Amino acid sequence: MKKFIISMMLIVSGSAFSQVSIGAPIQENNKWTFGGGIGLGFGSNSSFYLQASPRVGYRLTEDLEAGAVGSVSWQTSDYYRSTMFGIGPFVNYYIARSFYLSANFQHYFINYKDKYYDYKYNREENALYLGGGYMQRIGNNSFMQIGLMYNVLWKENSSVFSNGLVPNIGFVVGL
């Protein structure tokens, strides 16, 4: 049975590659972009952090892209547990495919539980990130983005975020 499955996989993959014409120019008609980032962290008091932020965009012009980005993160430690979901639009302007300026609005839904005091709360918060960064080509139409954003809606005494400055690393395919 194993030999049959392997043989079928080879035949299917061979027929799929046989549809590509050698030397034919590649058409860049697709204006959709995909990407995002992931984060992972560990710390004292058994703290653990996991975050994912997928994004989908559409190139309005060669240098202007708009789309939607989501965010989900889980944090836990000996003292608390938190889950946060966010979603919103973004706009990126690309400068010579080496730099970018970005604006990103996120609406967050936060669920927090203090394990020590057995205290729970649910909350919502808005964030408007403005910033930019550097892009490094890692493939034909793929880039790694390294940047710095600032949440202009951040308030020191009322935000669930520790500060408004957010470094980011992500990937985008389709530019």
The Cα–Cα gap between 108 and 71 comes to: 8
Letter string b/e over residues 91-129, b meaning 16 or more CB atoms within 10 A of that residue's CB: ebebeeeeebebbbbbebebebbeeeeeeeeeeebebbb
Which ranges of the chain would DSSP assign to H, the alpha helix?
A: 2-17
- Report d(CA 148, CA 150) in Å as an integer: 7
Number of domains forming the structure of the chain: 1
Amino acid at 62: E
Note the pLDDT tens digit of each residue in 122-160: 999 999 999 999 999 998 889 999 999 999 999 988 888
- The answer to whether the CB of 12 falls within 8 A of the CB of 19 is no
| Domain-located, residue 14 | no
Instruction: Provide the domain limits for residue 63.
Output: 30-173
What whole-number distance in Å separates Cα of residue 80 and Cα of residue 112? 7
User: Looking at the whole model, is its pTM more than 0.85?
Assistant: no
Here the CATH number for the domain that contains residue 87 is 2.40.160.20
Query: Given this model, what pLDDT does residue 41 score?
Result: 85
Residue 7 belongs to a domain: no
Residue 155 lies in a domain: yes
Domain contains 35: yes
What is the reported pLDDT for 28? 56
